Chains A and B, each alone.
Chain A
Amino acid sequence: MTVSLHDRSMPAKAMGRFRPPSAFWLIAPAILFLAFFFVFPLLKLVAISLPDGSAEHYRQIFTTPVFLRVIGETFRVSLIVTVVTVAIAYPYAYAMAHGGRAALLVLTVALLIPFWVSLLLRSFSWIVLLQNTGLINDFLIAAGLIDRPIRLIRTPLGVIIGMVHILLPYAVLPLYTVMKKIDLRLMEASSICGASWLRGFARVYFPLSLPGVMASAILAFTLALGFYITPALLGSPRDMMIAQMIAGQFNEQLNFGLGAALAVVLMVLTAMAFGLFGAARAALQMRDRRKGEA
């Protein structure tokens, strides 16, 4: 008797011999593990933030100036950091994509070395660099630009420098992925047609790189929202970000309900930023498809 492998009438047991182990048993440990140690803690936070079903903590967060200021400050710093990071990442990624093999190698190494050094150590290095007797101040004084050390550490500027440094690799990689697929002959074509470099860039290259810009901006922004180590080490308590406030509620104030509510707010803000990313990507795809039809 001969049976085709694809014969559906074949008994299930005989079929089983030809299938890899069933998906259920492979995936179940991961789902169970994450359900217990990842999803449950997050749900627990939601539960703690709503004692007896009362939304009092949320009301407090959205009506007290202190909390609103911290949320506002978190947005402000994240936005500045995102703009600066993407602006610096753009030419860097461009050089990686179109600057030749040697440039690609050197720039990739420069990008990946800090990527592999822990966030904590890099914040530590920035403390050393930015302190009053640090390299940056020494350099500025030696160059005659300033005559007295300027205060860089424990200021918003210090936090921004540290955060840009950490987020830069995350912003460069999506930009590079998009840019290396852009055909530079399109720019040549635009210049042959009489467009200036700037006009060609604005009308041809930049629109093509837009998906990369969007991806890196959203990645930088969502990561920036949750930063804790860098602002705690390089910033002053006055310019606190939301993550530090959450930690403070659990460590110092021992107000778990309020801390949990703040954590839920941060989680929702992060999810919203990602939702925005999905929507923006869908809009771009639609634009491209419509162009393709035209």
Chain B
Amino acid sequence: MDRLRRVLFWVVVGLTAVFLLLPTLITVPMSFTTTSTLEFPPVGFTFEWYGKVIGAADWRAALVNSLVVALAAAILATVIGTAAALALHAHRFPGKTLVMGLLLSPMVTPVIVLAVGMYMVFSGWGLVATRLGLVLAHTVLAIPFVVVSVLASARMVNPSLAPASLGLGASRWFTFRRVTLPLIMPGVLSGAVFAFITSWDEVVIALFLADVRTRTVPIMIWNQVRTNLDPATAAVAAILIVLSALGVLLSYKIREARS
């Protein structure tokens, strides 16, 4: 009885793990198929679909848009979020809980609500169909991740180091640059990676704010998936999966460097 229960338990857990991994694992091999429809298992082996994607002008333009927007949003969110996290960490001020709530609430607001709200406001400000509009919107989504990440790493820093530096006569800026920032750097960097990926993967807001010129890679995938499913989409998916994996690896390396 006891044995049976144990076997059953691990079978359920194992199947759950397969369920989690299956969609990701089948996408990559499918991108190498020589057939014109998506096949699993793939038939033959070709890089043709990758060539098609990389050679297409619209995919290249989307890739540039995605990179520019994600990079700008990551930098903006990291600067704003890190400053806010430091204030929340080192100071008591009235309404601190409220401010914390505000900083984290983009994380729990349904994205579709944000998308239509931003669409209405940004169209009045001439920000629709611009890269700047996308950058601002994605920065809103990314700020909570940076705040959480920097706060976590600030909590591990010895709190008397910054006052010690100031006490020894260093300026505030010097103390920030040479004492505080290096200590919280792992949190800042992993927050930046998170912010980048948030923007890189974002589709709902981009659907409302982007046009043909400013569309990002997720919009291209969305259009493809809605119209025709061909192995080129799987090739894009495979490229993005590899990029995400590199991002994860990077953030783990950063975390490792901390300890």
Contacts and interface: CB of A to CB of B under 8 A. Distances in A.
Interface of A: 5, 17-24, 26-27, 29-31, 33-34, 37-42, 44-45, 48, 88, 91-92, 94-95, 99, 103, 106-107, 110-114, 116-129, 131, 134-135, 165, 168-169, 197, 222, 225-226, 228-229, 233, 243, 246-247, 250, 256, 259-260, 263, 266-267, 270, 274
A228 B237 contact: no
Contacts of B106: 34, 38
Nearest to B167: A18
B121 A41 contact: yes
Contacts of B114: 38, 41-42
B87 A26 contact: yes
A88 B109 contact: no
B139 A37 contact: yes
B183 to A, nearest CB: 13
Given A125-B24, A168-B20, A270-B108, A116 B218 contact: no
Nearest to A259: B116
Contacts of B174: none
14 contacts: A29-B83, A34-B140, A39-B102, A42-B109, A120-B203, A124-B233, A127-B225, A128-B30, A134-B40, A229-B204, A243-B112, A246-B113, A260-B120, A263-B113
B137 A120 contact: no
A219 to B, nearest CB: 9
Interface centre among B112, B121, B122, B140 (most CB of A within 10 A): B112
B244 interface: yes
Contact of B26 (A18, A129, A250): A129
A260 B116 contact: yes
B41 to A, nearest CB: 9
B136 A37 contact: yes
B247 A30 contact: no
B95 to A, nearest CB: 10
Contacts of B102: 31, 34, 39
Given A20-B172, A119-B201, A95 B9 contact: yes
10 closest residue pairs by CB, A with B: A226-B110, A41-B117, A125-B23, A118-B201, A26-B87, A23-B91, A30-B84, A110-B17, A27-B87, A243-B112
